[in-house]
Amino acid sequence: MTEKRLCVDCRAEAQRRGQEPKVWRPAPYGGPRTPRCATHERQRKREAKAGTHERRVQKVYGLEPGQYGRIYLFQGSVCAICRRATGATRKLSVDHDHRTGLVRGLLCRPCNDMLGHLRDDPEMALRVAQYLKVPPARFLGVTAIHEDFRKEEESG
């Protein structure tokens, strides 16, 4: 039978409030035997992961403490290019100029890869925009439609 233990964080919170701390049981079957309940252990891991990310961007990109967060908030908490990715699942990448090394902003993985494929060439980015506005097929009068869209037309 497992003994009942007190979570170190629950105990500290209860003492601050002047309450009796809750008792919890460690994970059965030889699971992790930390001095914390599952809730506080998840919180500790989340905070440790955030700290690791912060230290990495400081070391690699030379950002000061908190600058990643300031850029993130300035961008509206989304990728600077697509404006869809929030970094909730995977932190946004720090984008930098590959000639000067200067940090430019935060991008999701696909946008960062796309920008890398463009090799930081503004002329190539303009060609991409021009291609999307006036594709060669439209210019030539080609009106072929992808099979997935033809099926919708036939059934509807």
User: Tell me: the pLDDT tens digits for 49-90?
Assistant: 878 999 999 999 999 999 999 999 999 999 999 999 999 999
Q: Identify any residues that bridge with 106 across adjacent strands, giving them in sequence order.
A: 94
Of the options 3.30.300.30, 3.40.50.970, 3.40.1800.10, 3.20.20.140, the CATH number for the domain spanning 54-155: 3.40.1800.10
Q: How confident is the model at residue 153 (pLDDT cuts 50, 70, 90)?
A: low
**What does the alpha-carbon distance between residue 6 and residue 97 come to, in Å, rounded to a whole number?**
51
Q: How many CA atoms lie within 13 A of 153 on its CB side?
A: 6
Q: Residue 56's Cα: distance from chain center in Å?
A: 15
Residues near 81 by Cβ (< 8 Å), separated by ≥ 6?
107, 108, 111, 114, 115
Please tell me whether the overall predicted TM-score, pTM, comes out greater than 0.75 for this model. Answer: no
**What does the alpha-carbon distance between residue 3 and residue 28 come to, in Å, rounded to a whole number?**
11
CA angle 65, 78, 87 (to 5 degrees): 70
